Structure 1
């Protein structure tokens, strides 16, 4: 059974980009309480701070850069686990929100002038869909403009029938990092200088990869699976960190763990409990008025990283809500991509 992606023949409905985002429309379309705000995308080959951004509507269709990107399948044959069962796509679902992922993959966004650094980019979607627009293609374009080779992960969604659902996204993230490194020469990047960058539930995947890169969540398939999956650095943007019901995003937790998970499973996928001295340097971004993922998620990750003496930088913005992607045009959170770029330049250069 093939992957079903919005904007394809499987789901041809398109929504044209609009200059303003109707926040209520997003809540209705997603059904998960994620309030997305408008984002900006740098489309030139100049650094983000100097680029003239153009809007990418989170509710719009997947752009040509996504459609035309090189696609790398993660798995030869069927992926680990089994039981995939496509779910009906809600009628109001935006065409750029990807669901029913049977065959996870990477989409490659190449820079004009490479800095030889790679980024594994993991968009959000409360483990219920994948935001391919501003958090996928838009962010990939922006960081490719800064010189990075960006690999956007379309990962399996745990609630789509997969057995051992709590392992499925981490399986795909580990395999993705290993494949990127296995193909480093082809993409002219340094295999040791590949970072992970994730938004919201994608931030949970990136954080899980940073702390559980060596967890044996699938049986090795080939020589690629002997490659180290530890990212050189991690960027976590309004991330889900804990599965504790008091502070998590409820839809993300339910989609990943199922209804009424045992305490042992909650602890297994609560990232803050698994930070160690080998966790890579980490960059955190959160808005203090986030209505979907409490900022305490980033605060507890910050505390855990500091306790383990892991290099960490955190930026907490007064406003921004949730889902702001590269930042809201008139808000200070627009500064984070340039800050992350500078931070990565420092930490990757130290390797």
Structure 2
């Protein structure tokens, strides 16, 4: 049951409410996976699948350059978007496309990429980690650029399903933070024509069979939105039409796949109301949906703290997939 909140709580997010609750002074600090650092060996060794032959759509005259100040695991300057492939020792015939976050400013490929791949390959899934183009790096039609890459990635996975020993009708997408916004856009606006087709793969339906949105940015307007993500995607002064096109909760329809939502109630940058907005819209559309709201975890916890309930979401998601995914 959703608790009523006053205007001040709405502006500051549900963390304000939690501050009034008694907390044990002896509570152990959360053990949250870190996103920063050098490139993991497993990332370096993973096969790369380039999304586009030749230049991607809307390429600028000068290719974007990587940041020299951010850690290597926060990827910028994405001139050649790609997927990295991670195979399980024993496949269950299913695949996951994971879309890391980073406020549409960078792509966090450690805590929301390789950590996710390791966790889900252990459960039998073939995992693809998407490195998508960043809309503020000079591309034409900036609001469409990440979605173009997500559409193309899903189509390539389906077109090569036999090569990867997976069922093209049993592919899920997981998105984190701004990557959660991109995943939500894929499942609600993925059939929009965002680029000219280049090969037979582009004739395939880009919708996945199921989605998981982990602390996603859903709202593109105050008071709940993450302003940096919205500005990077839409620019500093987006029109009402641009906001509408990239507000995924407003675009849920009869074809929106079953969706699994995860959020921490103490998430300040992206308040849990974002997931609740998507939940409400899914319920109004009578689409299958499940939500898990955790007391603690903050923002950007990836696969979750190992010493708190939020760290159990991968297993809960696997159970959700098993309930909704048709057997091969």
**Normalising to structure 2: TM-score of the pair?**
0.88
Q: Which one of 289, 313, 316 corresponds to residue 336 of structure 1?
A: 313
- Structure 2 distance, partners of 1:222, 1:309, is 35
Give the secondary-structure state (helix, strand or coil) at the position aligned to 1:39. coil
- Structure 2 distance, partners of 1:255, 1:298, is 21
Alignment of structure 1 residues 190-205 onto 2, 5 Å: 190-205=167-182
Give the secondary-structure state (helix, strand or coil) at the position aligned to 2:127. strand
Q: Measure how far apart 1:133 and its partner are.
A: 0.7
Q: Could you list the per-position Cα deviations for residues 32-69 of structure 1 after superposition, in whole angstroms to 9, with x for gaps in the alignment?
A: xxxxx7535xxxxxxxxxxxxxxxx3212121111010
2:32 maps to 1:39: yes
> 2:217 touches 2:226 (CA, 8 Å); kept in 1?
yes
Q: Which one of 227, 236, 239 corresponds to residue 204 of structure 2?
A: 227
2:67 maps to 1:89: yes
Q: Which one of 259, 273, 280 corresponds to residue 296 of structure 1?
A: 273
Give the secondary-structure state (helix, strand or coil) at the position aligned to 1:107. strand
2:268 maps to 1:275: no
> 2:210 touches 2:321 (CA, 8 Å); kept in 1?
yes
- Structure 2 distance, partners of 1:276, 1:266, is 18
- Structure 2 distance, partners of 1:286, 1:140, is 20
- Runs (5+) with no aligned partner, structure 1: 1-36, 41-56
Q: Measure how far apart 1:348 and its partner are.
A: 1.1
- Structure 2 distance, partners of 1:113, 1:39, is 28
Give the secondary-structure state (helix, strand or coil) at the position aligned to 1:206. helix
**Normalising to structure 1: TM-score of the pair?**
0.83
Q: Measure how far apart 1:82 and its partner are.
A: 2.1
Q: Measure how far apart 1:74 and its partner are.
A: 0.3
- Structure 2 distance, partners of 1:246, 1:173, is 27
> 2:66 touches 2:78 (CA, 8 Å); kept in 1?
no
Aligned length: 298
- Structure 1 distance, partners of 2:49, 2:127, is 12
- Runs (5+) with no aligned partner, structure 2: 1-29
2:291 maps to 1:317: no
